[in-house]
Amino acid sequence: MGTEFLKIKELEEAIEIIEELFKNSYKNQSEEISLEESVHRVIFNDVEAKIDFPPFNRALKDGYAIKAEDSFKSSPQDPKSLKIIDSIEAGIYSSKTIEKGQAIEISTGAPIPEGSDAIAMVEHTERYGEHVNLLVGVTPNTDIAFKGSDIKKGDLILKKGNILSPGKIGALKAQGLEKIEVFKKPKIGIISTGNELVVDKKDFKFSKIYDVNSYSLKSAIQISGGEGEILAIVKDNYDELKEEIKKGLEKYDILLSSGGTSAGRGDILIEVLNDLGEVYIHGISIKPGKPTIVGKIDSKLVIGLPGNPVAALIVYSTLISPHVRKLSGLKESMKSKVKKFPLNSRLHSSKGRAQYFLVKIQDKKIYPIIKDSGAITSLAIADGYIKVPKEKELLEEGEMLRFYEF
Amino acid sequence: MGTEFLKIKELEEAIEIIEELFKNSYKNQSEEISLEESVHRVIFNDVEAKIDFPPFNRALKDGYAIKAEDSFKSSPQDPKSLKIIDSIEAGIYSSKTIEKGQAIEISTGAPIPEGSDAIAMVEHTERYGEHVNLLVGVTPNTDIAFKGSDIKKGDLILKKGNILSPGKIGALKAQGLEKIEVFKKPKIGIISTGNELVVDKKDFKFSKIYDVNSYSLKSAIQISGGEGEILAIVKDNYDELKEEIKKGLEKYDILLSSGGTSAGRGDILIEVLNDLGEVYIHGISIKPGKPTIVGKIDSKLVIGLPGNPVAALIVYSTLISPHVRKLSGLKESMKSKVKKFPLNSRLHSSKGRAQYFLVKIQDKKIYPIIKDSGAITSLAIADGYIKVPKEKELLEEGEMLRFYEF
Measured in angstroms, the CA of B216 and the nearest CA of chain A are apart by 4
C-alpha distance from residue A286 to each of A155, A220, A388, B59, B62 (Å): 50, 20, 10, 22, 20
How close does chain B come to A330, measured CA to CA in Å?
Answer: 16
Q: What is the reported pLDDT for B333?
A: 75
Of A62, A91, A210, Cβ closest to residue B207: A91
Q: Chain B partners of A309 at a C-beta cutoff of 8 Å?
A: 170, 174
Interface membership of B109 toward A (CB under 8 Å): yes
Contact flag A91-B196 (C-beta cutoff 8 Å): yes
| Reported ipTM exceeds the 0.90 cut | yes
Give the minimum alpha-carbon distance from A400 to chain B in angstroms, rounded to a whole number.
Answer: 19
Residues A203-216 have a mean pLDDT of: 97
What's the pLDDT at A26?
98
Residue type, A357: F
d(CA B288, CA B207): 24
Q: How confident is the model at residue A264 (pLDDT cuts 50, 70, 90)?
A: low
Alpha-carbon distance of B212 to B224, in angstroms, equals: 19
> Is B228 an 8 Å CB contact of chain A?
no
Kindly indicate the confidence band of residue A241, based on its pLDDT and cuts at 50, 70 and 90.
very high
Q: B154 Cβ partners below 8 Å, 6+ apart?
A: B48, B49
Q: Is the pLDDT of residue A130 over 70?
A: yes
The answer to whether A301 and A25 are in contact (CB under 8 A) is yes
Helix axes A238-251, A266-276, angle to 10 degrees: 60
DSSP per-residue codes, B66-89: E-GGGGTT--SSSPEEEEEEEEE-
Interface probe, candidates B142, B216, B335, B356, chain A, greatest A C-beta count within 10 A: B216
Count CB atoms within 10 A of the CB of residue B252.
21
- Residues in chain A with CB shorter than 8 Å from the CB of B379 are 167-168, 170-171, 174
Of A171, A216, A169, nearest in space to A192 by CA: A216
CA A215, CA A258: separation in Å to the nearest integer? 12
User: For A174, which DSSP code?
Assistant: T
Tens digits of pLDDT across chain B (406 residues) = 345 676 889 999 999 999 999 999 999 999 999 999 999 999 999 999 999 999 999 999 999 999 999 999 999 999 999 999 999 999 999 999 999 999 999 999 999 999 999 999 999 999 999 999 999 999 999 999 999 999 999 999 999 999 999 999 999 999 999 999 999 999 999 999 999 999 999 999 999 999 999 999 999 999 999 999 999 999 989 999 999 999 999 999 999 999 865 555 568 999 999 999 999 999 999 999 999 999 999 999 999 999 999 999 999 999 999 999 999 999 877 766 789 999 999 999 988 899 999 999 999 999 999 887 678 999 999 999 999 999 999 999 999 999 999 8
Task: Give yes or no for a cis peptide into A140 (omega within 30° of 0).
Answer: no
Please check whether residue B6 touches A, CB under 8 A: no
pLDDT of residue B406: 86
Contacts of B214 in chain A (CB under 8 A): 173
Instruction: Kindly state the DSSP code that residue A320 receives in the 8-state scheme.
Output: I
Rounded Cα–Cα distance for residues A81 and B14 (Å) = 42
A253 touches chain B (CB under 8 A): no
> How high is the pLDDT of residue B149?
95
pLDDT tens-digit series, residues A387-396: 999 999 999 9
Residue B205 at interface with chain A, using a CB cutoff of 8 Å: no
Contacts of A39 in chain B (CB under 8 A): 219, 222-223
User: How far apart are the C-alpha atoms of B98 and A35, rounded to whole Å?
Assistant: 66
pLDDT of amino acid B321:
96
Cβ of B228: how many Cβ atoms within 10 Å? 26
The reply to whether residue A89 touches residue B263, judged by beta carbons under 8 angstroms, is yes
pLDDT of residue A3: 52
CB A318 within 8 A of CB A336: no
Residue A155 above 90 pLDDT?
A: yes
Contact: B145, A175; criterion CB under 8 Å: no
Interfacial B residues in 74-93 facing A (CB < 8 Å): 89-93
Total Cβ atoms within 10 A of residue A121: 18
Residues in Cβ contact with A239 at an 8 Å cutoff, skipping those fewer than 6 apart: none
Q: Which of A173, A180, A205, A324 to mutate to test the interface with B (most CBs of B within 10 A)?
A: A173
Catalogue all structural domains in chain B, each as residue range(s) with its CATH number.
11-29+184-327 (3.40.980.10), 33-53+149-183 (3.90.105.10), 58-145 (2.170.190.11), 335-405 (2.40.340.10)
Within 13 Å and on the Cβ side, how many CA atoms surround A218? 24
d(CA B23, CA B19): 6
Residues of B in contact with A36 (CB under 8 A): 215, 218, 230
State residue B1's pLDDT score: 39
d(CA B126, CA B133): 5
